[in-house]
């Protein structure tokens, strides 16, 4: 059973605000999704542990130093920046 | 002859210049995009500069490649240097990547003409394109119906002749289902066949980029151009070329039908798929029926894993480094929370919450770990199926295109929306390739699609089978939209 407290807790972990007025409807929605997810618990898994799709092995590249992305280019997308850094204000 | 080769011939014979061709498409987009809503961003300067370069080569008597000068579109989750890439989300408004995705880099080497960035469900989370911050893309066969999703914009553009082809991404059906709804061809390659570098992540162990095209030959040509090993994607492998064997004889090929794939599928869709099976028999292929009971739990298994991966992947949107940032806040935590709550749409927030839930202490073993192991069982089930056949034939979706607003109507809940992906997600869960091809038309004149599912890295077999079907039983229907050549 998903409770209002569960939703408040996972919203905090997810760094999302859930408006007080939406809490009940969201709890109900999440309960339905969890019930849907619960259907897997009726299934017996015969296979062993599985951790990698397609049994792919990592396609490593050579450990060579390559050029990094230029700082000024990266900062162009930042909402705020100062002195080659991302700027985060305490309040706005 | 496929559309790409046909246009290629027009370009080299001088019947039309690449700039003229590109202008035709840009003009068509201008006229029709208001209604189809296929494009989020149109890039005339980029397209025309690319087209001029192609014309210069032709004028100099240089040879041009098949994809050279062919106008196309990219789903808006594929990074394009200096061109806004939004994932159809408010949170990425104004974001201009500083590098190109590998697929776009490869296509630029082929001499691509890129018309613009195509609409999609926000962060590729949806099956109707309606979770887009910019509103959904419409179906070129009926404006009352959706283009499908999540690559709805690409499918609408290609189906509506506002691009010759496009690249989409498929996490749980997002290439195949909209291709099916819009009556065109969509290929979801094997996981690892096409580099994901520069594809904005939804669920990294499922995501795969692939072509959406007007015919099977085009899908093979585009696939061969992008299925290359890339050192910047640690899961990249490349794949074998598919175009050279498209026309191979399919006599004696074994095509499997899993009974469970036909469960709950609308009667006319089911009949269209069975008619296709009959057509294959007429071409000398053998149809084998079997059970694949594991399909039953593929859907919840997929949603648990995809949401878990999404909740982690979307952790990066914090309003600090790029995109939208909340205007008013008090403290860093508050700033991040407000940015995310204001920037993400409802469905994205729902999936982040659910993903966080299944990964959190106390639920991890029951949901996430269990789903991971079930995924192994699904992989094994497909392995067993492919001992009986060379490819599996199935519907792409249990129905044809939804009515606008259907998935967000009062009476439709999320689960119903998720259930509509029942035919497509098993392929992503097992990392297999599959191609959707038109196989009929319903009573309302909407296209029906079927998919051919292949063994890992065996795109060439499913494309060969799809091509032979298209040659024998072309079920594509014209739309009134866009460029007619």
Which pLDDT tens digit goes with each residue over A17-61?
Answer: 998 998 998 899 889 888 988 888 888 776 566 666 666 677 788
Q: Which of A18, A50, A60 sits opposite B376 (nearest CB)?
A: A50
In the annotation, is B195 catalytic?
Answer: no
Interchain contact, B357 vs A10, CB within 8 Å:
yes
Q: Which of B191, B320, B353 sits opposite A11 (nearest CB)?
A: B353
B205 touches chain A (CB under 8 A): yes
Distance from CA of A87 to the nearest CA of B (A): 7
Outline where DSSP puts E strands in B196-339. 209-213, 254-258, 286-290
Catalytic residue among B174, B195, B236, B239: B174
Interchain contact, B237 vs A59, CB within 8 Å:
yes
Residue B442 lies in a domain: yes
Distance from CA of B17 to the nearest CA of A (A): 36
Residue B211 lies in a domain: yes
Q: Give the residue from chain A lying closest to B93, CA to CA.
A: A77
Query: Cα–Cα distance between B418 and A31 in angstroms, integer?
Result: 15
In the annotation, is B174 catalytic?
Answer: yes
Residue B373 lies in a domain: no
Would you say how long chain A is, in residues? 92
Contact list in B for residue A57 (CB cut-off 8 A) is none
pLDDT per residue, tens digit, chain B (485 aa), is 999 999 999 999 999 999 999 999 999 999 999 999 999 999 999 999 999 999 999 999 999 999 999 999 999 999 999 999 999 999 999 999 999 999 999 999 999 999 999 999 999 999 999 999 999 999 999 999 999 999 999 999 999 999 999 999 999 999 999 999 999 999 999 999 999 999 999 999 999 999 999 999 999 999 999 999 999 999 999 999 999 999 999 999 999 999 999 998 999 999 999 999 999 999 999 999 999 999 989 999 999 999 999 999 999 999 999 999 999 999 999 999 999 999 999 999 999 999 999 999 889 988 999 999 999 999 999 999 999 999 999 999 999 999 998 766 655 667 777 888 999 999 999 999 999 999 999 999 999 999 999 999 999 999 999 999 999 999 999 999 999 98
Distance from CA of B281 to the nearest CA of A (A): 31
- Output the 3-class SS for A15-52: CCCCCHHHHHHHHHHHHHHHHHHHHHHHCCCCCCCCCC
Report the 10 Å Cβ neighbour count for B307: 28
Q: Give the residue from chain B lying closest to A69, CA to CA.
A: B98
Check the CA dihedral B238-B368-B375-B398 and report its sign: negative
* CA angle, residues B170, B173, B177, in degrees to nearest 5: 115
Interchain contact, B360 vs A17, CB within 8 Å:
no
Residue B163 lies in a domain: yes
Contact list in A for residue B344 (CB cut-off 8 A) is 16
- Find the CATH number of the domain harbouring B269: 3.90.1300.10
Distance from CA of A14 to the nearest CA of B (A): 6
Residue B311 lies in a domain: no
Catalytic residue among B17, B32, B79, B150: B150
A85 touches chain B (CB under 8 A): no
Contact B217, B4 (CB under 8 A): yes
**ipTM of the complex, rounded to two decimals:** 0.92
A30 touches chain B (CB under 8 A): yes
Task: Please give the pLDDT value at position A51.
Answer: 64
Alpha helices in B229-331 (DSSP H): 267-282, 298-313
| H or E element in which residue B355 lies | helix B346-359
* CA angle, residues B27, B170, B247, in degrees to nearest 5: 80
Distance from CA of B430 to the nearest CA of A (A): 7
Report the 10 Å Cβ neighbour count for B211: 31
Domain count across chain B: 1
Contact list in A for residue B205 (CB cut-off 8 A) is 53
Interchain contact, B413 vs A36, CB within 8 Å:
no
Q: What are phi and psi of A7, to 5 degrees?
A: -65, -45
Contact B294, B302 (CB under 8 A): no
User: Taking the domains of chain A in order of start, what are their residue ranges?
Assistant: 4-42
Residue B330 lies in a domain: no
Contact B462, B216 (CB under 8 A): no
Q: How many CA atoms lie within 13 A of A86 on its CB side?
A: 12
Hunting for tokens 């002859």 — which residue is that?
Answer: B1
- In 3D space, the residue among B234, B394, B390 whose CA is nearest the CA of residue B298 turns out to be B394
Distance from CA of B419 to the nearest CA of A (A): 10
Domain that holds residue B71: 3-292+378-472
A82 touches chain B (CB under 8 A): no
Chain B neighbours among A 40-59 (CB < 8 Å)? 40-41, 43, 45-51, 53-54, 56, 58-59
Task: Please give the pLDDT value at position B354.
Answer: 94
Would you say how long chain B is, in residues? 485
B60 touches chain A (CB under 8 A): no
Give A25's strand partners.
none
Residue B264 lies in a domain: yes
Contact list in A for residue B196 (CB cut-off 8 A) is none
Task: Please give the pLDDT value at position B264.
Answer: 87
A21 touches chain B (CB under 8 A): no
Contact list in A for residue B315 (CB cut-off 8 A) is 15
Query: Cα–Cα distance between B189 and B196 in angstroms, integer?
Result: 12
Q: Which residues of B141-158 are buried (b: 16+ CB within 10 A; e: fewer)?
A: bbeebbbbbbbbbbbbbb
Contact list in A for residue B358 (CB cut-off 8 A) is 37
Residue B368 lies in a domain: no
Contact B153, B42 (CB under 8 A): no
B208 touches chain A (CB under 8 A): no
Residue A76 pLDDT greater than 90, yes or no: yes
Total-model pTM: 0.96
Question: Which residue of B357, B360, B455 to mutate against A (max A Cβ within 10 Å)?
Answer: B357
Task: Please give the pLDDT value at position A52.
Answer: 64
Q: Report the DSSP pairing between strands B286-290 and B254-258.
A: parallel
* CA angle, residues B234, B235, B236, in degrees to nearest 5: 95
Q: Which of B300, B431, B456 sits opposite A40 (nearest CB)?
A: B300
Question: Which residue of A25, A79, A80, A87 to mutate against B (max B Cβ within 10 Å)?
Answer: A79
In the annotation, is B311 catalytic?
Answer: no
Residue A92 pLDDT greater than 90, yes or no: no
Cβ-based contacts under 8 A for chains A and B: 169
- Residue B133 token pair: 């911050």
If phi > 0 it is left, if psi is from -120 to 50 it is alpha, else beta; for residue B86 that is: alpha
Task: Please give the pLDDT value at position B410.
Answer: 57
């Amino acid at each position: 059973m998903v409770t209002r407290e569960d939703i408040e807790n996972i919203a905090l972990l997810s760094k999302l605000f859930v408006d007080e007025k939406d809490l009940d409807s969201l709890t109900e929605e999440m309960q339905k999704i969890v019930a849907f997810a619960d259907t897997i618990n009726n299934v017996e898994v015969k296979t062993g542990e599985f951790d990698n799709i397609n049994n792919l092995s990592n396609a490593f590249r050579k450990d060579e130093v390559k050029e990094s992305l230029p700082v000024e280019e990266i900062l162009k997308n930042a909402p705020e920046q100062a002195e080659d850094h991302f700027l985060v204000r305490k309040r706005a | 002859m496929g559309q790409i080769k046909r246009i290629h011939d027009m370009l080299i014979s001088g019947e039309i210049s690449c700039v003229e061709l590109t202008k035709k498409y840009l003009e068509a987009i201008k006229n029709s995009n208001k209604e189809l809503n296929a494009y989020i961003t149109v890039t005339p300067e980029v397209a025309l500069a690319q087209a001029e370069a192609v014309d210069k080569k032709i004028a100099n008597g240089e040879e041009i490649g098949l994809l050279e000068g062919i106008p196309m579109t990219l789903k808006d989750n594929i990074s394009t240097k200096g061109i806004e890439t939004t994932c159809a989300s408010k949170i990425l408004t104004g974001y201009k990547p500083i590098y190109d995705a590998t697929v776009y880099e490869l296509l630029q080497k082929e001499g691509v003409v890129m018309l613009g960035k195509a609409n999609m469900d926000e962060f590729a989370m949806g099956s109707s394109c309606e979770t887009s911050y910019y509103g959904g893309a419409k179906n070129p066969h009926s404006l009352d119906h959706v283009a499908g999703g999540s690559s709805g914009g690409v499918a609408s553009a290609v189906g509506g002749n506002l691009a010759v082809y496009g690249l989409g991404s498929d996490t749980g059906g997002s290439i195949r289902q909209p291709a099916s709804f819009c009556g065109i061809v969509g290929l979801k390659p094997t996981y690892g066949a096409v580099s994901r570098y520069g594809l904005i992540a939804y669920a990294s162990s499922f995501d795969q980029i692939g072509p959406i095209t007007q015919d099977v030959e085009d899908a093979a040509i585009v696939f061969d151009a992008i299925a290359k090993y890339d050192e910047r994607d640690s899961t990249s492998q490349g794949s074998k070329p598919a175009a050279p064997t498209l026309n191979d004889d399919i006599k004696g090929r074994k095509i499997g039908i899993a009974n469970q794939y036909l469960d709950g599928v609308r009667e006319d869709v089911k009949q269209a798929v069975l008619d296709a099976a009959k057509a294959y028999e007429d071409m000398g292929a053998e149809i084998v029926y079997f059970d694949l009971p594991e399909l039953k739990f593929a859907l919840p298994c997929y949603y648990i894993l995809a949401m878990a991966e999404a909740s982690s992947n979307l952790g990066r949107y914090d309003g600090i480094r790029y995109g939208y940032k909340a205007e008013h806040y008090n403290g860093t935590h508050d700033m991040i929370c407000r940015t995310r709550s204001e920037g993400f749409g409802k469905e994205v927030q729902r999936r982040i919450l659910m993903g966080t839930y299944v990964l959190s202490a106390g639920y991890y073993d029951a949901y996430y770990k269990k789903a991971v192991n079930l995924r192994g069982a699904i992989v094994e089930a497909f392995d067993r199926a492919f001992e009986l056949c060379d490819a599996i034939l199935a519907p792409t979706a249990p129905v044809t295109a939804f009515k606008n607003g259907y998935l967000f109507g009062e009476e439709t809940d999320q689960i119903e929306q998720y259930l509509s992906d029942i035919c497509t997600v098993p392929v992503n869960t097992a990392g297999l390739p599959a191609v959707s091809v038109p196989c009929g038309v319903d009573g309302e004149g909407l296209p029906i699609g079927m998919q051919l599912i292949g063994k890992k890295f065996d795109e060439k077999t499913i494309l060969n089978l799809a091509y032979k079907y298209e040659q024998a039983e072309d079920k594509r229907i014209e739309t009134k939209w866009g460029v007619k050549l």
